[in-house]
Chains A and B, each alone.
Chain A
């Protein structure tokens, strides 16, 4: 059998959110080894299980939609692969879906996030004037280490807001992928410093990636 590409979607939550991207790769490779999945190894001096993660997740961010691609060299039902891998993954990491890919990494255009702030009411009050600004400017460092001011307002789409007693949550869509990538942390960081400049000390309680979308708006699959 030739190698066939398989895409899995996994969840990252609980204690696993403190695992960096590089460590997630290592953890996955070991879990796949324990699960004895018939996967393809890279060639060369240090053969490694081939894995491809199109969109790295920042440290501390939860996710219910992390894609990961591997290559399979023997026939095994997709459900069986999911079952086996879920048996060997640590707490907080779980395979939600396994399929033959429809899209390629280049199709990725957006990601959606849920971000929660506290204290809830202060955050809710500060949020409307924050997004009502003409520009939302952030500082970015280029590869040559020069500072660049970027207006992120045109890129961020606020989908929903939700106020409870303890938390203020927002749902946003940000550009993702090869051409333009905007980190959720950059957006919430900009909000926190905006609030602070008007005397409100807020904290970001949790950030969760909920969807990865193609440029045409379809779910990346």
Chain B
């Protein structure tokens, strides 16, 4: 352990909030002898410990890298602003939690990028580490800065700061990348440049400096081309073909303090069969693959035993689409009930909410019930391809009410393509019909008050979705539609309505669809103090607005402009296996309110099946 940092920490830790998140030393954290390791990897989550420690991808890659005896992967999170100030005042550089060593001395610094609002936190963490934030200002001996996660499907706004991006699923490609590094270091052939050039030839690795972008007079991208030989013109994302046998940790680090998702998590499936047209995850994680019931049960048991958690969650984009769901839940509850462990199913689709599942869920602990119809009318649900009917919503609510639930949370989006005023008031109409259903149910448990919470997000167009071409609605228009919804729900006391901050959604749209010209804005926003933007109390749009105007960048161009089908987008040179022609087809179908069946029912030819050898399903 780095004595110098340890001693400094002793002097300051009691002056900051929740100090246990800065000490390391948690159960199951991996400590190795630094003299005996060849590759050191600082795995950074660009948000606070409480958020980052809840992230499953980090847990997987942490355990996987540490399974190599001579590699040491450690965890790093962003300090909260009180501790950041203390670190800066006392010259404590950003350190890794296992060794307390400064991450500036590591071989790799890797970020997982889960949402756009953390971009400035990445810069802040590099700066706290004592490194220049720009690629061009770092030296050959500085660590290689890498990044992965869903946001890197369009990494262009971050190209000035990150050396290489890892596209798609990380279990194989991370190992290949570190193997290459170790080989080059050992043979003495390593230089950062030589390493990056070799790395760029690994499928799934994108090294932005080897690509040139040119722009037309109207500001639209005209081409993205490699600027040297041996660099692939398009970079293809990686997928794990044999998902049932993919590495999964047998234990998690167990934090001292309470974190956001303080429980054991088993990933039961990857990808999604649904194809909701607004949902980026539904496209970039294709194809759909699931683990076997036996594998899931085995992983649940081993994680619960190694962590002592009192709750386990079955995680995925849509856990109810697991083909053997009822049998699996029965088997798992057999184990969890005996051990007094409660089971959480965070991603349930409304149309799959059966009586049996409700019963299983309620056995150990009553969790709140959340559904996401996303749109208020059937027509708009068809536009976005959320293939749920009102009948299914009502049936699920009936089951839930009969099982004893009286609180329902419904998620909607406002500002969807082709949205009309009757779709907005339709949200209230739907809530009213759910309330009628509740009060007319004879067998529901009495004495509880019905509560319907409606939570509305603003639609954000995202890359690699059929709605990537769509403009986001303006601030005036979102205000008008929000007022319309509030007016329609007046006097209905069982309904409560909440909104997401529009400025957050606007910024998400710009950063999600942005190109390399956004980088100076990100840097300027960070220098003016923007970081930890996913926290309401830290989000400061005024600073962003000043950064945009100082750099002469228009948010309208990125957020409110429709993209033509034949325009070259900032991410067209990245291949997420879904064909652009498919996205265009789906976009056209949206305007006809025409739905596309789910992948299990019928293949819609999105292009992904080619990558898995012809067929996603047997």
**Chain A CB within 8 A of B546 CB:** no
CA A20 to CA B256, docked complex, whole Å: 9
**At the interface, yes or no: B392 with Cβ under 8 Å from chain A?**
no
Which of these, A14, A29, A33, A46, contacts B365 with CB under 8 Å?
A: A46
Interchain CB contact (< 8 A) of A47 among B26, B257, B340? B340
Q: What is the minimal beta-carbon distance from B27 to any residue of chain A, in angstroms?
A: 4
| Interface membership of B24, Cβ < 8 A | yes
In the bound complex, what is the Cα–Cα distance between A23 and B21 (angstroms)? Answer: 11
Encode A11-54 as 1/0 by CB contact (under 8 A) with B.
Answer: 00011101110110011011111100000010001111000000
Q: Are B256 and A27 in contact (CB under 8 A)?
A: yes
Closest to A203 in B: B11
Candidates A18, A32, A203; contact of B13 at CB < 8 Å: A18
B101 to chain A, nearest CB (A): 15
Given contacts A34-B305, A92-B25, contact A45 B310 (CB under 8 A): no
A-chain residues with CB within 8 Å of residue B19 when the two chains form the complex:
18, 59-60
User: CA A14 – CA B9 in complex, angstroms?
Assistant: 12
Q: With A33-B310, A34-B308, A45-B365 known to touch, is A91 a contact of B25 (CB < 8 Å)? A: yes
Q: A18-B13, A45-B366 are in contact. Are A23 and B308 (CB under 8 A)?
A: no
Q: Which of B1-60 contact A (CB under 8 A)?
A: 11, 13-14, 18-20, 22-27
A101 close to B (CB within 8 Å): no
**Cross-chain contact B257 with A29 (CB below 8 angstroms):** no
Asked if A129 is at the interface of the complex by the 8 Å CB criterion, the answer is no
* Interface check A217, CB cutoff 8 A: no
Q: Is B243 an interface residue (CB 8 A)?
A: no
- Residues 85-97 of chain A, each 1 if its beta carbon lies under 8 Å from chain B, else 0: 0001111100000
Please measure, in the bound complex, the distance between the C-alpha atom of A88 and the C-alpha atom of B307, giving whole angstroms.
9
Interface residues on B, range: 20 to 34
A11 CB → nearest B CB, Å? 15
Known interface pairs A45-B366, A59-B14, A90-B256; A30-B23 also in contact (CB < 8 Å): no
CB B172 to nearest CB in A, in angstroms, measures 31
* Measured CA separation A18–B15 after assembly (Å): 11
Contact B257 A15 (CB under 8 A): no
The answer to whether A20 touches B20, judged by C-beta atoms less than 8 angstroms apart, is yes
**Considering the chains assembled together, what is the distance between the CA atoms of A22 and B20 in angstroms?**
12
Which listed residue (A19, A30, A31, A91) contacts B20, Cβ 8 A?
Answer: A19
One of B13, B25, B307 near A16 (C-beta < 8 A): B25
A59 cross-chain contacts in B, Cβ below 8 A: 14, 19
User: How near does chain B come to A94, taking the closest CB pair, in angstroms?
Assistant: 13
CB distance from A21 to the nearest CB of B (A): 11
Say yes or no: is B223 at the interface (Cβ < 8 Å to chain A). no
Interface residues on A, range: 20 to 34
CB pair A90 B365 closer than 8 Å: no
B256 touches A19 (CB 8 A): yes
- Would you give the shortest CB distance from B302 to chain A, in whole angstroms? 12
Q: Which of A16, A31, A46 is B308 in contact with, Cβ under 8 Å? A: A31
CB-CB < 8 A to B307: which residues of A?
30, 34
User: Are the CB atoms of B256 and A29 closer together than 8 Å?
Assistant: no
A63 CB, min distance to chain B CBs, angstroms: 15
- B13, B309, B310, B340: most-surrounded residue (chain A CB, <10 A): B310
Q: Is B551 an interface residue (CB 8 A)?
A: no
A203–B305 CA distance with the chains assembled, in angstroms: 43
Q: Give every chain B residue within 8 A of A18 (Cβ-Cβ).
A: 13-14, 19-20, 22-23, 256
Q: Which residues of A from 151 to 205 have beta carbons under 8 Å from B?
A: 203
Which of chain B's residues have a CB closer than 8 A to the CB of A45? 365-366
Chain B residue with minimal CB distance to A14? B25
* 338-371 of chain B: CB within 8 A of chain A: 339-340, 342, 365-366
| Complex CA distance for A30 and B305, rounded to whole angstroms | 10
Q: Chain A residues near B11: list those with CB within 8 A.
A: 203
B179 CB within 8 Å of chain A: no
Contacts of B14 in A (CB 8 A): 18, 59-60
The residue of chain A having its C-beta at the shortest distance from the C-beta of B256 within the complex is: A19
> Is B592 at the interface (CB under 8 A from chain A)?
no
B500 shortest CB reach to chain A, Å:
30
B212 interface residue per 8 A CB criterion = no
**Contact B257–A20 (Cβ < 8 Å):** yes
Pair B27/A26 contact, Cβ less than 8 Å: no
Task: Tell me the smallest distance from the CB of B405 to a CB of chain A, in Å.
Answer: 14
With both beta carbons as reference points, the residue of chain A lying nearest to B100 in the complex is identified as A15
User: Could you tell me if A90 and B308 are in contact, using CB atoms closer than 8 angstroms?
Assistant: no
Q: Are B258 and A23 in contact (CB under 8 A)?
A: yes
Q: Closest CB-CB distance, B417 to chain A, in whole Å?
A: 43
A211 to nearest B CB, angstroms?
Answer: 23
Question: Assuming the A-B contacts A20-B257, A45-B366, are A88 and B308 also in contact, with contact meaning beta carbons closer than 8 angstroms in the complex?
Answer: yes
Closest to B341 in A: A33
Residues on A with C-beta less than 8 A from B306 are 34
Name the one of B256, B305, B340, B365 contacting A23, with C-beta atoms under 8 angstroms: B256
CB-nearest residue of chain B to A90: B27
Which residues from chain B contact A20 at a C-beta distance below 8 Å? 18, 20, 257
The answer, yes or no, to whether B273 is at the interface (CB within 8 Å) is: no
**Contacting pair A19 B257 (CB below 8 A):** yes
- Cα A31 to Cα B13 with chains together (Å): 25
- How many whole Å from B92's CB to the nearest CB in chain A? 15
Min C-beta distance of A115 to chain B, whole Å = 14
For B258, what are the chain A residues with a Cβ–Cβ distance below 8 Å? 22-23, 26
A90:B20 contact, CB within 8 angstroms: no
**Which residues from B are CB-within-8-Å of A26?**
258
Is the Cβ of B308 less than 8 Å from the Cβ of A30? yes
Q: Chain B nearest CB: distance from A28 CB in Å?
A: 10
Q: Closest CB of chain A to B307's CB: distance in Å?
A: 7
- The answer to whether B256 and A30 have CB atoms under 8 Å apart is no
A111 to B220, CA, bound (A): 73
> Judging by beta carbons under 8 Å apart, are A32 and B308 in contact?
yes
Known: A30-B310, A34-B307. 16 other contacts (CB 8 A): A18-B14, A19-B20, A23-B20, A27-B254, A29-B310, A30-B27, A32-B308, A33-B310, A46-B342, A46-B365, A47-B340, A88-B27, A88-B308, A90-B26, A91-B25, A203-B11
Give me 8 A-to-B residue pairs in the complex whose CB atoms sit less than 8 angstroms apart, sorted by A's number: A16-B25, A18-B19, A23-B20, A30-B27, A30-B307, A41-B340, A88-B308, A90-B256
Nearest first, the 10 closest Cβ-Cβ pairs linking A and B are A30-B308, A33-B308, A15-B25, A34-B308, A18-B19, A15-B23, A19-B256, A60-B14, A90-B27, A18-B20
